[in-house]
């Protein structure tokens, strides 16, 4: 199981929790499991997210591996200037 | 992931870190460089756009018939020529490119014409009759959030709150970040400071207005030349808006006269293409400065509440911020980045930020260097400064005591790896600037700043010429010296002189998708792709040498720009240079090239500390910036002159943002200062020499240790200058810009005991 931490305003869409435990080996599986278990998250995820795995930020990286003990944060999609 | 940072620290570079002449220098000083407005084509038409004079109005009708009858007018387009796109992310852009049911801000495009000359086009605009029903408007972020505010979008329900609101509002979305228990943390504090801050919207102030030349043939094939930070983005957005396939549209980026984030979207390009398609001729469209101010994307304006609690020993116990950003008439202000970065410089047990994305009757905001972060840093670093004074601690020591370090759980969540904030603070403590005395009416301010940086989709092609020179094709417009940096990295990797490498910006048909030049990504991501492409070319060069020597490719190594036998067992052959191998490439298997296509991840975050001295004239309120020093972590400075330029540029734009720049709206909701005479950006005489100190804490995610540097440099200046001005004037300033009238008023109020 992987522990993923959501940003605060996703709490309501994830059943009142910001820390979730999911079976996922990579980013794609993580996002799929999130939507399967918390359908209300889909609208938020569709607008784009970044995933931080052990402090490294990933955008659009379906196959970035996640280890069971990885630190995983779901973050808004980053944009810059 | 291999610990490339360790590799980077150990590696001895021959070229990286030197300061060769920039490859675009001669073109730019001789006028040979071609910018957006320099493009021409046979039979070209000139286009102009009719813009709403109202801040908020329903468009009841548009009659273009008199304009269409004018001799010389070849095409007119309105909302009827733009179907709403299928891609959801393009819908707001479509509404912004050409108003539909309503004009949402002063300057919103309503119609456009293409004619044989600008005077004819101008007359055609006068002949277009638009009937408006004027609606109440709102331009201030706090006013827009009030329950009785005029509503811009009747279907806008605030996202991020549960249950979903039933009533429309101007709050598009709420964001929340943080960890711990701030309420408990505040009870543990000895001193709590709570203040509200406001910042004005500012424009990126790029000197080159948006310009493009569009040409769509009767076969549906299109070409577009434009000044942009990302021509692949332009291609995909325009194709989506005009119902074209991306391969039908080829976009070529011109040289660019500044972007700073403001050229990361489309404004006029789809309009020019639509006109060209309708007229069957090339169409040139160049914005005036007035249009740039009124109808492109300035940054957000903001209103922020900050509360920070601290123990007498300097330990921060809790920190909270509520940020309200208006991003113009459409959702998408960068408030989430403000909320994420606000406290990123500090190691906090209890932290909470809440952000509100608000719409108003202003132009749709666009990114501006580290979007959202400088506004937040202004508020947070001002309170940090005030707290340091209250507990009688040096502001640098106070920051060091609470600084984020490797292993700190960041305020937005993830744990930091190796980072350079502490190094920038330590360096600033011992710098002569910190030790220099101050005179009467002078003050010194410091502030820290953070930006994420990122990588993204990147595709490059490196081709070895027959004479041993190298041409590198990249897909990112050079807005800050990337061609020089790419030449350096390719030359370093191949072991050839810098002068033998030429980097060009290829058009969209030549390479795979490249993300926009933004997020301080190019030296990191395109640099990594360049290194990988050079490595791929080296493998082929070694293979060719192996063929020539009739030995195994594994028995050949690449050293100092030569293929050499790997050891005594490989045989004794005279090393072959890149030029030697290239000269016979045609006879040994054909052209030699290296490519790299990847979605680059692993960009390292970046921190900076800025120090500034100012003098405030107590009679006029005028601020003179006396001395300025930037301390920033670059990971590894590929071309230090360009890195210094990024540091200096961020500081200079920050000086303008802090002291003078602001969008001023009248009671009628119209922009009052849409020109550089009334919107005052800093000029050379407003600035001291901006000193720079480059720190190099290698990024483990890049082969050479590179971190992006283009954005972090604009995060601390607003706060650093506010802290300096507050110290010099003897009164805390919480609103930007700190223009002379505002400063004078505060000084007089202090004198009068108000």
Nearest Cα residue in chain B from A13:
B162
- Nearest CB among A12, A59, A81 relative to B367 is that of A81
Nearest to B528, CA basis, from B608, B470, B711, B536: B536
What is the rounded distance in angstroms from the CA atom of residue B576 to the CA atom of residue B582? 10
CB-CB under 8 Å, A56 with B701 = yes
CB-CB under 8 Å, A55 with B415 = yes
- Antiparallel, parallel or unpaired: β B45-51 and A56-59: unpaired
CATH class assigned to B435-444+606-754: alpha beta
Nearest Cα residue in chain B from A50:
B454
Substitution target in B351, B413, B597, B604 with the highest count of A β-carbons within 10 Å is: B413
**Within its chain, how far is the Cα of B511 from the centroid?**
23
Say how many CA atoms lie within 13 Å of B631 toward its Cβ: 24
What is the rounded distance in angstroms from the CA atom of residue B450 to the CA atom of residue B448? 7
Q: What residues form DSSP beta bridges with B670?
A: none
- Antiparallel, parallel or unpaired: β B283-286 and B45-51: parallel
- Nearest CB among B264, B334, B454 relative to A59 is that of B454
Ordered by where they begin, the domains of chain A are 2-76 (3.10.20.30)
Q: What are A6-46's pLDDT values in tens digits? A: 998 888 889 899 999 999 999 999 999 999 999 999 988 88
CATH class assigned to B455-600: alpha beta
Distances in whole angstroms, Cα of residue B698 to Cα of each of A35, A53, B459, B712: 37, 19, 24, 16
* Residue B220: count of CB within 10 angstroms of its CB: 13
> What's residue B9's pLDDT?
57
What is the rounded distance in angstroms from the CA atom of residue B576 to the CA atom of residue B557? 11
CB-CB under 8 Å, B413 with A80 = no
Q: How confident is the model at residue A60 (pLDDT cuts 50, 70, 90)?
A: confident
**Within its chain, how far is the Cα of B59 from the centroid?**
34
Q: With contact defined as beta carbons under 8 Å apart, do B488 and B22 qualify? A: no
Nearest to B524, CA basis, from B604, B406, B627: B604
**Is any Cβ of chain B less than 8 angstroms from the Cβ of A1?**
no
Q: How many residues does chain A have?
A: 81
Predicted ipTM of the assembly:
0.96
Structure tokens that stand for B456 in this block: 């993204």
Q: How would you class B687 by CB atoms within 10 Å of its CB: exposed for 0-12, middle for 13-18, buried for 19 or more? A: middle
In which residue are the tokens 């550089």 written? B676
Q: How would you class B21 by CB atoms within 10 Å of its CB: exposed for 0-12, middle for 13-18, buried for 19 or more? A: exposed
Q: Which residues contact B12 (CB under 8 A, 6 or more apart)?
A: none
Q: With contact defined as beta carbons under 8 Å apart, do B601 and A57 qualify? A: yes
- Nearest CB among B174, B354, B413 relative to A52 is that of B413
- Nearest CB among B88, B159, B518 relative to A81 is that of B518
> What's residue B2's pLDDT?
38
DSSP B359-394: --SSPPP---SSTTHHHHHHHHHHHHHHHHHHTT--
Please give the interface size between A and B, counted as residue pairs whose CB atoms are below 8 Å apart.
107
Q: Which residues of A touch B337 (CB under 8 A)?
A: 76, 78-79
Q: Which residues of A touch B415 (CB under 8 A)?
A: 54-55, 71
**Is any Cβ of chain B less than 8 angstroms from the Cβ of A12?**
yes
Which of helix, strand or coil describes residue B585?
A: helix
What is the rounded distance in angstroms from the CA atom of residue B564 to the CA atom of residue A40? 61
DSSP B179-217: ES-HHHHHHT-SEEEEEEEEE-------SSPPEEEEEE-
Give the DSSP letter of residue B302.
E
CA angle A34, A40, A42 (to 5 degrees): 60
Give the DSSP letter of residue B526.
I
> What's residue B3's pLDDT?
42
What is the rounded distance in angstroms from the CA atom of residue A60 to the CA atom of residue A67? 18
What is the rounded distance in angstroms from the CA atom of residue B291 to the CA atom of residue B367? 18
In which residue are the tokens 């003897």 written? B730
**Is any Cβ of chain B less than 8 angstroms from the Cβ of A45?**
no
Nearest Cα residue in chain A from B519:
A80
> Maximum Cα–Cα distance for chain A, whole Å?
37
Structure tokens that stand for B469 in this block: 């020179």
Q: How would you class B502 by CB atoms within 10 Å of its CB: exposed for 0-12, middle for 13-18, buried for 19 or more? A: middle
Separation of first and last alpha carbons in chain B: 60
Nearest to B578, CA basis, from B465, B485, B487: B465
Nearest Cα residue in chain A from B368:
A81
Pick out chain B residues at pLDDT < 70: 1-10
What is the rounded distance in angstroms from the CA atom of residue A42 to the CA atom of residue A10? 11
Q: With contact defined as beta carbons under 8 Å apart, do B743 and B616 qualify? A: yes
User: In angstroms, what is the C-alpha Rg of chain A?
Assistant: 12
What is the rounded distance in angstroms from the CA atom of residue B555 to the CA atom of residue B549? 10
| Domains of chain B by residue range | 435-444+606-754, 455-600
Torsion of CA B671, B672, B677, B679, to 10 degrees: -60
User: In angstroms, what is the C-alpha Rg of chain B?
Assistant: 27
CB-CB under 8 Å, A9 with B367 = no
Nearest to B663, CA basis, from B203, B335, B210, B325: B203
Print burial letters for B75-108: b (CB count within 10 Å at least 16), e (below 16): bbbbbebbeebeeeebeebbbbbbbeebbbbbbb
Which of helix, strand or coil describes residue B679?
A: coil
Q: With contact defined as beta carbons under 8 Å apart, do B293 and B209 qualify? A: no
**Is any Cβ of chain B less than 8 angstroms from the Cβ of A18?**
no
């Amino acid at each position: 199981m992987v522990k993923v931490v959501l940003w605060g305003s996703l709490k309501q869409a994830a059943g009142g929790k910001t820390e979730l435990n999911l079976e996922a080996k990579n980013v794609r599986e993580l996002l799929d499991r999130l939507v399967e278990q918390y359908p209300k998250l889909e609208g938020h995820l569709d607008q784009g997210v970044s995933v931080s795995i052990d402090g490294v930020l990933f955008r659009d990286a379906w196959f970035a591996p996640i280890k069971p003990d990885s630190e995983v944060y779901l973050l808004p999609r980053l944009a810059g200037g | 992931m291999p610990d490339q940072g360790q590799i980077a620290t150990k590696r001895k570079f021959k070229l990286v870190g030197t300061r060769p002449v920039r490859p675009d220098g001669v073109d730019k000083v001789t006028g040979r460089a071609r910018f957006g407005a320099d493009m021409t084509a046979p039979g070209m038409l000139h286009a102009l756009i009719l813009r709403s004079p109202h801040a908020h109005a329903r468009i009841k009708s548009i009659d273009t018939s008199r304009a269409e009858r004018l001799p010389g007018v070849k095409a007119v387009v309105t909302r009827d020529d733009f179907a709403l796109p299928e891609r959801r992310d393009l819908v707001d852009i479509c509404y912004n490119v050409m108003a539909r049911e309503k004009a949402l801000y002063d300057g919103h495009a309503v119609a456009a014409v293409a004619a044989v000359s600008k005077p004819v086009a101008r007359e055609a605009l006068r002949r277009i009759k638009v009937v408006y029903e004027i609606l109440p408007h709102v331009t201030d972020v706090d006013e827009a959030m009030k329950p009785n505010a005029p509503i811009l979008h009747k279907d806008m329900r605030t996202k991020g709150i549960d249950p979903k609101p039933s009533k429309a509002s101007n709050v598009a979305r709420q964001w929340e970040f943080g960890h711990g228990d701030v309420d408990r943390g505040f009870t543990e504090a000895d001193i709590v400071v709570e203040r509200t801050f406001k910042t004005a919207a500012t424009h990126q102030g790029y000197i080159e207005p948006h310009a493009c030349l569009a040409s769509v043939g009767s076969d549906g094939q299109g070409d577009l030349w434009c000044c942009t930070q990302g021509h692949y983005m332009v291609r995909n957005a325009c194709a989506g808006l005009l119902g074209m396939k991306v391969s039908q549209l080829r976009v070529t980026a011109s040289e660019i006269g500044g972007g700073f984030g403001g050229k990361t979207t489309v404004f006029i390009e789809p309009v020019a293409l639509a006109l060209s398609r309708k007229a069957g001729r090339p169409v040139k469209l160049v914005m005036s400065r007035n249009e740039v101010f009124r109808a492109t994307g300035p940054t957000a304006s903001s209103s922020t509440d900050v509360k920070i609690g601290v123990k007498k020993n300097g330990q921060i116990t809790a920190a909270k911020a509520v940020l309200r950003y208006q991003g113009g008439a459409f959702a998408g202000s960068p408030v989430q980045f403000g909320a994420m970065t606000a406290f990123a410089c500090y190691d906090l047990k209890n932290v909470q930020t809440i952000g509100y994305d608000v719409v108003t009757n202003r132009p749709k905001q666009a990114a501006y260097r580290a979007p959202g972060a400088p506004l937040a840093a202004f508020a947070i670093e001002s309170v940090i400064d005030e707290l340091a004074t209250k507990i009688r601690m040096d502001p640098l020591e106070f920051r060091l005591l609470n600084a984020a370090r490797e292993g700190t759980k960041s305020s937005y969540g993830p744990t930091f790896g190796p980072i350079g904030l502490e190094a920038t603070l330590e360096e600033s403590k011992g710098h002569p600037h910190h030790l220099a005395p101050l005179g009467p009416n002078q003050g010194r301010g410091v502030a820290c700043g953070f930006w994420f940086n990122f990588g993204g989709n990147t595709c490059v092609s490196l081709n070895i010429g027959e004479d041993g020179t190298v041409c590198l094709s990249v897909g990112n417009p050079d807005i800050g010296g990337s061609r020089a940096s790419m030449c350096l990295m390719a030359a370093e990797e191949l072991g050839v002189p810098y002068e033998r490498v030429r980097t060009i910006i290829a058009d969209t048909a030549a390479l795979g998708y490249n993300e926009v030049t933004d997020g301080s990504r190019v030296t990191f991501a395109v640099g990594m792709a360049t290194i990988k492409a050079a490595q791929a070319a080296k493998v082929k060069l070694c293979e060719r040498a192996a063929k020539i020597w009739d030995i195994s490719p594994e028995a050949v190594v690449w050293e100092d720009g030569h293929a050499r036998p790997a050891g005594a067992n490989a045989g004794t052959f005279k090393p072959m240079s890149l030029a030697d191998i290239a000269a016979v490439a045609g006879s040994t298997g054909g052209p030699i090239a290296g490519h790299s296509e990847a979605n680059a991840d692993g960009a390292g975050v970046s921190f900076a500390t800025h120090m500034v001295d100012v003098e405030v004239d107590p009679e006029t309120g005028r601020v003179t910036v006396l001395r300025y020093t930037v301390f920033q972590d670059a990971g590894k400075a590929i071309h230090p002159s360009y890195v210094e330029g990024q540091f200096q540029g961020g500081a200079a734009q920050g000086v303008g943002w802090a002291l003078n720049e602001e969008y001023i709206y009248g009671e009628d909701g119209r922009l009052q200062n849409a020109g550089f005479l009334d919107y005052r950006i800093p000029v050379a005489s407003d600035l001291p020499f901006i000193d720079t100190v480059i720190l190099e804490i290698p990024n483990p995610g890049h082969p050479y240790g590179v971190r992006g540097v283009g954005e972090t440099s604009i995060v601390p200046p607003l706060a650093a200058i506010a802290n300096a001005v507050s110290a010099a004037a003897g009164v805390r300033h919480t609103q930007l810009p700190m223009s002379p009238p505002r400063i004078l008023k505060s000084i007089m109020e202090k004198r009068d005991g108000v």
